[in-house]
Structure 1
Amino acid sequence: MSETSAPARRDRPAPRPLPHRLPAEPNSGILAGGGFVSPAPNRPRQNARQGAPPPAHEIRSPVVSGVRHTAPMVTCPECGTTSEVPCATLFNRLLALDHSRAEPWGPLHGVAVACYRLQHGSQLPEGSDVLLGLLRVFVDEGAAAAHRFAEGRRRANSHRNRGAARPAYAPTTVSPNGFRVTLADVAADGTFPASGYERRVRDWADATITAWDAVR
C-alpha cells in the first residue's frame, strides 16, 4: 500500500500594509487620510476654580429670540406724549445742550423753550402771545429771524420792567393737549441728535402753533 503524500501547503500572501493615517483634527470629524468619524460634542469649558462645568439647568442663553426688555412707558399728562423717558428729563438734557452754545442746539434755545412751555401748561407764564409770536417767526422766516425777534423782546422787557418781579408760572385753562409733534419726537433716540435737529424743531413749533390756534 502506497503512502499518500499530504497536499502541499500553500502559503497565504502577506497582508498589505495599511495606509498611514494622521490623528483626527479635534472635533472636525475628518481624518487626515480621508476617513470620517463622528465629531465629539462641544462641551463647556471647565472653570479652573470650580473644577467642573455648571449644571445644564444653570446655563443660560445670552439671547432670547423675540424677547426685548424695555423700560415702562410714561404718558405725559400735559402734552400727551408717551415715551420711556419723562418730558422733564428730556427737557433737562436739551437744556444742557442748549447752554453749551454748540450748533445746532444753542441757536434754537429760545424756540425750544417756547415749544416746551406752550405744550406744558404748568410751565407757561400768563399770556402766550409772545411765545407763539416767536414760533410763528421761526416757522415763517427761519432761525436768524427768530433770534432777532427774541433779542428785541428781551431788550424791550429789560428797559420797561427793570427791577420788576419775574412773571409767575401758573397752569393755564386753555392749554391744548395731544400735539402732533412733541419733545419726545425731537429727542429721537433720547439724545437730540444733531442730524435733522432744526427740521424736527420746526415741526415741533408748527404742531404747537396748530394746536394753539385750534383752541383760541
Structure 2
Amino acid sequence: MACYYLQHPSRGAGSATPAQWALLHVYLRGGLAALTPLTRRARRLNSHRHGGHTPGADDFPGAPPFPGGATPPPGYATTITDVALDGTFPAEGHEERVRRWAADTVVAWG
C-alpha cells in the first residue's frame, strides 16, 4: 500500500506521508519480517484506545527522512500493474516484483 499511495498521493489520505516512506525503507532493508512488527505497532498506536496516534517517521527507526516538499514524480519504472502482471498477482515472482516496486518508488522520489 505504501508504494501505491506514494505513487498516487491524491488517492491516499491526502498526500504521501513520512510513514509510508519509512515503511518502504524498512521493507527494503529487512523484508517482510522486519516490517510486520512495525506495522502491528503502528496499527496499535492508531487505535482509539491509544489516542488515535497517526504513525509518523519516528515510529520507524532507521528510515531516512521523507523528501518533504518534493513534488511527486511524473512517472515510475514499476507500478502496481507490473506487480499484478495479469491482474491476478501470481505467487511466482511476487516478492521480487514487490521489492522492485518499492525500490523503484524510492528511486523516483529520491
TM-score (norm 1): 0.40
Alignment of 1:145-184 (within 5 A): 145-158=34-47, 159-161=50-52, 174-184=71-81
Q: State how 1:1-216 maps to structure 2 within 5 Å.
A: 113-125=1-13, 126-158=15-47, 159-161=50-52, 174-213=71-110
Q: In 2, distance between residues paired with 1:201 and 1:134? A: 13
Q: Aligned partners of 2:29 and 2:74: how far apart in 1?
A: 24
* 1:80-101 Cα deviation digits (max 9, x unpaired): xxxxxxxxxxxxxxxxxxxxxx
CA RMSD of aligned residues (A): 2.2
TM-score by length of 2: 0.74
8 Å CA contact retained: 2:9, 2:16: no
Is the contact between residue 5 and residue 16 of structure 2 (CA under 8 Å) also seen in structure 1? no
Larger radius of gyration: 1
Unaligned runs of 5+ in 2: 55-68
Q: Which of structures 1 and 2 has the larger relative contact order (alpha carbons within 8 angstroms, sep 6+)? A: 2
Q: Distance in 2 between matches of 1:177 and 1:143?
A: 28
Q: What residue identity is the alignment partner of 1:187?
A: A
Determine what percentage of the aligned residue pairs are the same residue: 43
The CA deviation at 1:127 is: 5.0
Q: Aligned residue pairs: how many?
A: 93
Aligned counterparts of 2:8 and 2:91: Cα–Cα separation in 1: 24
How many Å apart are 1:173 and its aligned residue? Answer: 7.8
